[in-house]
Every structure is written in C-alpha cells, then in structure tokens.
C-alpha cells in the first residue's frame, strides 16, 4: 500500500488529504476568508513536531493566529466555552481545528457557538 496518496474531497466541505498538504493551510484559510484563525487542539498534540508544521504553515502564509490547547477527551460545555472565549477575546475570524475527534469537536462547536446567545444544552 502506498502512503503517497493525495486527494481533495468536497462533500460538502473540502478536505485536503496527503503528505505535505499542511503547506496549503494558508491558502485554504484565505479561500475560506479566514485571516486570523484560532487554532484549536489538545495539549498532547500541541507538543508534537507535527503541530509545529501547522503553525509554520500559517506563519509562512503571513496568517496571524491564536492558540487554544484546551481540548480534552470527551469534551464538555466548559471546554467549548473556553474556546469561544478565546475566539472572542482574540477577535478571530475562524477556526483551524487540528487533532483527533475531541479537538475537532471543540473546534466545530466553538465556531458555531461564537455566534449564539443560548447555551449548548
């Protein structure tokens, strides 16, 4: 099996998959109209070299970003609330979620909840 598979899937969102595709992150943000994202991840992933590549890709594209590393396994409302606070405090215009399911869940919910006035539950 080859590990060089690269693809772009778009139903309904575009998902970029493959080695080296992280270098396209700046372009993907620009295409989405995101110029000051909050990067959401978990504490373990934030310490890995791979995560540094994500931040380097944003920097190379000249994209200023904030960082939220408080995604926890099986996130609860408090995790989402903290990410929403980070979005608001940093005047971020979008979310880049990096990680496993929990970080992606927190990122998606924070992006949704930042415009809401009612609680999640």
pLDDT for res 86: 98
Output phi, psi for 15, to 5 deg: -120, 125
pLDDT in tens, the chain (121 residues): 557 778 787 777 777 888 999 999 999 999 999 999 999 999 999 999 999 999 999 999 999 999 999 999 999 999 999 999 999 999 999 999 999 899 999 999 999 999 998 988 8
Residue extents of the structural domains in the chain: 25-113
Cis peptide before 23 (omega within 30 of 0): no
> Would the CA dihedral through 83, 42, 13, 90 be positive or negative?
positive
Q: How many Cβ atoms sit within 10 Å of the Cβ of residue 29?
A: 21
- Residues near 22 by beta carbon (within 8 Å), at least 6 away in sequence: 53, 54, 57
**Residue among 97, 100, 101 at smallest CA distance from 87:** 97
Q: How many Cβ atoms sit within 10 Å of the Cβ of residue 70?
A: 19
CATH of 25-113, one of 3.20.20.70, 1.20.140.10, 3.40.640.10, 3.40.50.1970: 3.40.50.1970
């Amino acid at each position: 099996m080859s590990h060089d598979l690269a693809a772009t899937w778009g139903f309904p969102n575009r998902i970029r998959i493959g080695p080296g595709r992280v270098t396209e992150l700046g372009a993907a943000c620009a295409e989405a109209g995101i110029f000051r994202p909050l990067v959401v991840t978990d504490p373990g992933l934030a310490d890995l070299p791979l995560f540094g590549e994500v931040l380097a890709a944003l920097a190379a594209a000249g994209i200023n970003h904030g960082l939220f590393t408080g995604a926890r396994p099986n996130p609860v409302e408090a995790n989402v609330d903290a990410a929403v606070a980070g979005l608001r405090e940093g005047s971020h215009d979008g979310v880049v979620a990096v990680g496993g399911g929990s970080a992606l869940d927190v990122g998606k919910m924070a992006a949704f909840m930042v415009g809401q006035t009612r609680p999640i539950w």
